[in-house]
Amino acid sequence: MPDPFLISIVDDDQSFRDSMRRLLVSHGYTVAVFPSAAEFLASTQLPATACLIADFHMPGMTGGELYQRLIAMGHTIPTILITAYPQEAVRQRMLTLGVHCYLHKPLDETVLIDCLRRAFARGKPPGVGP
């Protein structure tokens, strides 16, 4: 059974991954980190992931491409995309495709945690409490 609070972070920037891991662990979440979409897709953590946070701009496969690949594979993981280069057209497209949040760096901790809480509330199975 998946960990109800496992967050997988996919970002090619190690310092960002490390700071996000520390922040989310301090809020009580279990966190797995990956330097690329390919490593996340190949990991044993994929089926256990309750929420995905991915950088939009990564070499190899972008966060948007990762989200679309997951959907095609049948994995409907609530996803938060983050970017240092926000574009309104991209944000609208990703939200239309079903991405839960599209945030820009530097991240506002309060906004991120609120987005995570809403993602977990939306993604919980029927009968599971808050």
Residues 70-129 pLDDT 10s:
999 999 999 999 999 988 999 999 999 999 999 999 999 999 999 998 888 875 433 333
- 113-130 burial: b if 16+ Cβ within 10 Å, else e: eebbeebbeebeeeeeee
* Cβ-based burial of 58 (10 A; exposed 0-12, middle 13-18, buried ≥19): buried
Query: pLDDT: is 2 or 121 the higher one?
Result: 121
- How confident is the model at residue 128, as a pLDDT? 32
CB 43 within 8 A of CB 20: no
- How confident is the model at residue 127, as a pLDDT? 31
| Domains by residue range for the chain, with CATH | 6-123 (3.40.50.2300)
- How confident is the model at residue 129, as a pLDDT? 32
The mean pLDDT of the chain is 89
- How confident is the model at residue 119, as a pLDDT? 86
Residue 30 pairs with which residues in a beta bridge? Answer: 6
